[in-house]
Amino acid sequence: MSTRTFYRGRRLRRTETLREMIREHSLLPQDLIMPYFVVDTPDSGLEQPIGSMPGQSQLSLAKLEETVARAVDSGLKSCLLFGIPAAKDTTGSEAWAENGIVQRAVARLKSRFPELVVITDVCLCEYTSHGHCGLLDPQGQVRNDETVAILAKTALSHARAGADIVAPSDMMDGRVLAIREALDSAGFAQIPVMSYASKFASTFYGPFREAAESAPSFGNRKSYQMDPANGREAMREAMADLQEGADMLIVKPAGHYLDILAEIRRRCDVPLTVYQVSGEYAMIKAAGERGWIDETGVVLETLTAFKRAGADLIISYFTQDLLCRGIIK
């Protein structure tokens, strides 16, 4: 008689309650961060739909407040702000303007929703006339150290406006350290830095560049963002940001980079965030609108996969909809 046996995995999948009891990961409102695009505009009613991101819009300050109010009522705990300034210049000076659009948005949201954790994206690409994430030298190369100084000024202006967390997304070397020092020396030692540590030069950012009006006017971002082929290099970037003082790390994009997330999870103990970017959003939306996939099912599956791979927090454009429809509560 054979002594071999087999594994009866189905025993624990027999009923919905049993399946719930052995479920390893779940999604809660506090796991989710909603990105918003706020525009410096005299039109206080502006809600300009973003063509390649159905359901997402560029918002005036007043519309931002209204939109956030609906989400907060449905359980939103945290948002990430991107600003679109009225004017751009070569140094991106609106990025650190005391009265800049993000600074005003932060102040407004924090005064209306004191409990909401407001995170700011620290980068120059939405503010520079050339669309690169830093200052250029005469040959059109992005200058690292000069850019880092400006990023530190920008992060500090966000903290002064009341931001709870600053999230540098530029991928310059040394920016986490410079931002940490700037915050500490101005009395903001309590403000965490959540760095986009492993940010890849991804084609999946396409729709965002329409949303944030931040496409580079020439060239690409490959001299600062990472090569999608490089996993070990992503570990060096993550460890470097931790050494410089990052409190949390972001992996971006999400879906096709979960190996990176899982490996960082093994190597350190800080909270990890994954960013489901605009192209990932657009693809799910497009297929959903055609009835080719069940949008909500696919969204929940992707977000759950992020948590399974090791994410504590998820930045996703689906957040508002999932909360407002009561899908996640």
Which residues participate in catalysis according to the annotation?
A: 199, 252
Choice between 51 and 187, CB closer to ligand PBG: 51
Judged by CB under 6 A, which of 93, 278, 319, 320 binds ligand PBG?
278
Tell the smallest beta-carbon distance from residue 153 to ligand PBG (Å). Answer: 17
Q: Is the dihedral of CA 153, 156, 162, 163 positive or negative?
A: positive
Residues binding ligand PBG: what is the number (CB under 6 A)? Answer: 11
Question: Which of 79, 133, 248, 251 touches ligand PBG by CB under 6 A?
Answer: 133
- DSSP state, 168? E
Angle between the 61-73 and 101-112 helix axes, to the nearest 10 degrees? 40
Min CB(142)–ligand PBG separation in Å: 12
Which member of 176, 194, 234, 277 binds ligand PBG (CB under 6 A)? Answer: 277
- 164 is written with which tokens? 């709870």
Q: Which of 38, 119, 125, 246 binds ligand PBG (CB under 6 A)?
A: 125
By CB under 6 A, tell whether 37 contacts ligand PBG. Answer: no
Closer residue to ligand PBG (CB): 96 or 208: 208
State both tokens at 118.
Answer: 């407001």
**Amino acid letter at 292?**
W
Cβ within 8 Å of residue 175, ≥6 positions away: 147, 148, 151, 152, 168, 195
208 binds ligand PBG (CB under 6 A): yes
224: contact with ligand PBG by CB under 6 A? no
**Token pair in block for residue 127:** 């503010």
Q: Which residue is nearest to ligand PBG (CB)?
A: 208
Q: What is the dihedral of CA 83, 84, 85, 90, to 10 degrees?
A: 100
**Which 145-174 residues touch ligand PBG, going by CB under 6 A?**
169
* Token code pair at residue 311: 């994410």
